[in-house]
Amino acid sequence: MAGLKAMFNLNQVRDYMSDQIEQIEDKSIEALRYQGEEFINKARNSGNYTDRTGNLRASVGYVILKDGQEIDSSFTGGKSQGVKAAKKAIDEVRGLFGKGLVLIGVAGMNYAAAVESKGFDVITGSAPNSNDIKDLLGAIKL
Enclosing domain of residue 61: 10-138
- Tell me, yes or no, whether 123 lies in a domain: yes
- Tell me, yes or no, whether 5 lies in a domain: no
Confidence at residue 139, expressed as pLDDT on a 0 to 100 scale: 64
Strand intervals (E) in the chain: 60-66, 69-74, 101-107
- pLDDT bin (cut points 50, 70, 90) of residue 7 is confident
Contact 127, 60 (CB under 8 A): no
- Tell me, yes or no, whether 4 lies in a domain: no
- pLDDT bin (cut points 50, 70, 90) of residue 134 is low
| Whether the predicted pLDDT of 8 surpasses 80 | yes
- Tell me, yes or no, whether 115 lies in a domain: yes
Percent of the chain residues past pLDDT 90, beyond the cut: 54
Distance between CA 103 and CA 140 in Å, rounded? 17
Tens of pLDDT, residue by residue over 37-88, are: 999 999 988 878 888 888 999 999 999 999 999 999 998 767 688 889 999 9
- Could you tell me the CA-to-CA distances from 70 to 122, 124, 136 in Å, in that order? 24, 23, 21
Distance between CA 27 and CA 127 in Å, rounded? 20
Distance between CA 34 and CA 7 in Å, rounded? 40
Mean pLDDT, residues 128-135: 68
Contact 101, 25 (CB under 8 A): yes
| Total tally of structural domains belonging to the chain | 1
| Whether the predicted pLDDT of 133 surpasses 70 | no
Say if pTM beats, i.e. exceeds, 0.85: no
Confidence at residue 68, expressed as pLDDT on a 0 to 100 scale: 92
* Residue among 137, 140, 141, 125 at smallest CA distance from 38: 125
Percent of the chain residues past pLDDT 70, beyond the cut: 88
Higher pLDDT, 134 or 70: 70
- Tell me, yes or no, whether 88 lies in a domain: yes
- Tell me, yes or no, whether 1 lies in a domain: no
- pLDDT bin (cut points 50, 70, 90) of residue 142 is low
